[in-house]
Chains A and B, each alone.
Chain A
Amino acid sequence: AQSVTQLGSHVSVSEGALVLLRCNYSSSVPPYLFWYVQYPNQGLQLLLKYTTGATLVKGINGFEAEFKKSETSFHLTKPSAHMSDAAEYFCAVKDGAGNMLTFGGGTRLMVKP
């Protein structure tokens, strides 16, 4: 069985500061990992994904994430937060055994001016 843990349900940063959203997963097989963003009253939008190959993945809006197998982590970062980054972020894992995407509990990012 696969699972995802996002540490911190709420994260607050100042505009221009580093954004770090944490995600740890468990999977019995090599995972496929995803980050999604949800703006208010909207569905989820794919930010980036890791499948195979390079462990540092770049996504939209300046976000990137690094797959670290030894730490079973896939943390999301952005060097400089913008007000428009305020949203809820979900980490998700899909393993090779099926098509179900398992989501973490989400992290709400707040950006202070």
Chain B
Amino acid sequence: GAGVSQSPSNKVTEKGKDVELRCDPISGHTALYWYRQSLGQGLEFLIYFQGNSAPDKSGLPSDRFSAERTGGSVSTLTIQRTQQEDSAVYLCASSLGDRGWRSYNSPLHFGNGTRLTVT
């Protein structure tokens, strides 16, 4: 498709279960980002990929969170042993990011997000 695609759009899970969130970026975009949007918390950076590697994992809130990207394309964000405070909208974005000026200049293109509810 033309835009960033995220699935599922909504996920309800029980506390303690693991969940996987998927992001399919725009074709040709080498940079991929995960953000979390919680009520009253704004947009929180989680992790950034350049190709398949993650030079910046500083935003992952705990070791229950992990992410991977394969083939320089699809990324999966995994949350293990979910807690109620993990409930949020998880947004994925991609950009033309590369080394140098082009990466600084290119905007992020966002998917519609996955709304995660932990009961």
Indicate whether A32 sits within 8 Å of B108 (C-beta atoms), given known contacts A100-B48, A103-B42.
Answer: no
Verify if A61 is at the interface (C-beta below 8 Å from B).
Answer: no
- Count of CB-CB pairs between chains A and B under 8 Å: 53
Report the stretch among A14-22, A39-47, A69-77 that lies at the interface: A39-47
Q: Decide: B112 and A41 in contact? CB cutoff 8 A.
A: yes
The one of B42, B45, B95, B103 in contact with A104, judged by C-beta atoms closer than 8 angstroms, is: B42
Interface of chain B residues 45 through 100 with chain A (CB within 8 A): 45, 48, 50, 56, 91, 93, 95, 97
Interface class of chain A by DSSP: loop
Contact with B along A40-77 (1 / 0, CB 8 A): 01111110010100000000000000000000000000
Interface class of chain B by DSSP: strand
Pairs of residues from A and B, 4 with the lowest C-beta to C-beta distance, nearest first: A43-B110, A103-B43, A105-B42, A44-B110
Per the bound structure, the CA–CA distance linking A94 and B108 in Å amounts to: 11
Question: What residues of A have a CB within 8 angstroms of the CB of B35 in the complex?
Answer: 103
Q: Decide: B107 and A99 in contact? CB cutoff 8 A.
A: no
Q: Decide: A106 and B91 in contact? CB cutoff 8 A.
A: no
- Least CB separation from B97: chain A residue: A99
Contact with B along A85-109 (1 / 0, CB 8 A): 0000010001110111111111000
